[in-house]
Amino acid sequence: MDSAELAGKIVYTWLTLVLGFILLPSAFGLSLGISELYMKILVKTLEWATLRIEKGVSKESVLKSSASVGIIQRDESPMEKGLSGLRGRDFELSDVFYFSKKGLEAIVEDEVTQRFSSEELVSWNLLTRTNVNFQYISPKLTMVWVLGVIVRYCVLLPLRVTLAFIGISFLVIGTTLVGQLPESSLRNRLSELVHLTCCRICVRALSGTIHYHNKQYRPQKGGICVANHTSPIDVLILTTDGCYAMVGQVHGGLMGIIQRAMAKACPHVWFERSEMKDRHLVTKRLREHIADKKKLPILIFPEGTCINNTSVMMFKKGSFEIGGTIYPVAIKYNPQFGDAFWNSSKYNMVSYLLRMMTSWAIVCDVWYMPPVTREEGEDAVQFANRVKSAIAIQGGLTELPWDGGLKRAKVKDTFKEEQQKNYSKMIVGNGSLNSELD
């Protein structure tokens, strides 16, 4: 037997195993119990590693590392409360130190930029994806870590790459073929089948374990689904349980090929970069879409960028000016098994996918929430904030008023001026400074 024949048999055996035990069951939404067994072994292993670390280090340092979620210890009380001591007396120059302290805290670790870095872990998950420096090392723990590296890179990575290639190829080919059919109910059903099947295969390529809650509130046709945004795979996570019409910017490269193929079979709404700046054009196209109750619900991420699975930042009001029924969805990933957050300013798509495919697994919870509509007398901003608060509460996320655009842009002058006015009001709140100036 020559080397070419041997390689052919190995590839044939590999593809047969992948097709029979993973690809076909995942395409039909079934499970043979392999992933469940893998997750049980993984959970037991991580629990054992955590116990080893806790036994190897002092209890005080464990408590310190688990309780420390930031670089500095800060006073979380609002500034108005901190300045209460200034009221009832004249403003003094020494009061400037309070503002200096608050300013240094913001520079060292503000509540916005830390949302654009990976979520910190309480204990080591045998991966290198953590902000905490765990220094405890033992021979047994090292052996388990080495074994984990071999399993992740030599077994799981080739398997996941194979599944991802098959899933993406089927998606491009399937949507292209379906797009050649005339407009009909059959074409729509085939399009939904292709999207569901291929997304399930791609989720299996990440060893995805998804827990859906309150399925009776799943988004319906003619509606708008809004969700918090952590990763590009949010789309795969949601589409595994139901089809959506995507809204987003046109991309190039592999992503562009996938977008163009998908648009042939399903009425996705893709915009050029220049069109995205035209709010009226975007609103018009979205209104035309939801006006047809036979079309799939629109999937929108109002934050406009990925946040690190700890918070929900400002929802853009454009999605809430369209009208129609809003279906809120909360997504929360379990960071113990892998970091799903995409820091696009640090990693490109290829590097990000490599990190995902060499993690243990992607585990997350998805909560469908009761549909809501805009109330009488409620403007788009108030409506957006109400939906954002509901998603934050349901997902156990921190609600922040800041724009996620700060990930790449500078703070607007209007934000600075607003803070300056607030500081001024706090200082002269009792009128003592005004009386001196008079």
Instruction: Tell me the pLDDT tens digit for each residue of 244-266.
Output: 988 877 777 777 788 888 888 88
Residue 219 lies in a domain: yes
Residue 73 domain flag: no
**Residue 73: what pLDDT?**
53
**What integer pLDDT is reported at residue 353 of this predicted model?**
86
**DSSP labels for 318-341?**
GGGSS-S-EEEEEEEE-TTT----
pLDDT at 328: 95
Residue 300, SS3?
strand
- Total domains in the chain come to 1
Instruction: Give me the residues of the chain with pLDDT under 50, please.
Output: 59-72, 86-88, 430-438
Q: Specify the pLDDT at position 67.
A: 38
Q: Does residue 37 lie within any of the structural domains?
A: no
How, if at all, do strands 245-249 and 269-271 pair? parallel
- Residue 171 domain-assigned? yes
- Give whole-number Cα distances, 431 to 49, 135, 213, 437, in Å: 60, 54, 54, 10
Structural domain harbouring 215: 139-413
Residue 374 placed within a domain:
yes
Q: What is the pTM of this model?
A: 0.79
Residue 394: what pLDDT?
94
pLDDT at site 292: 81
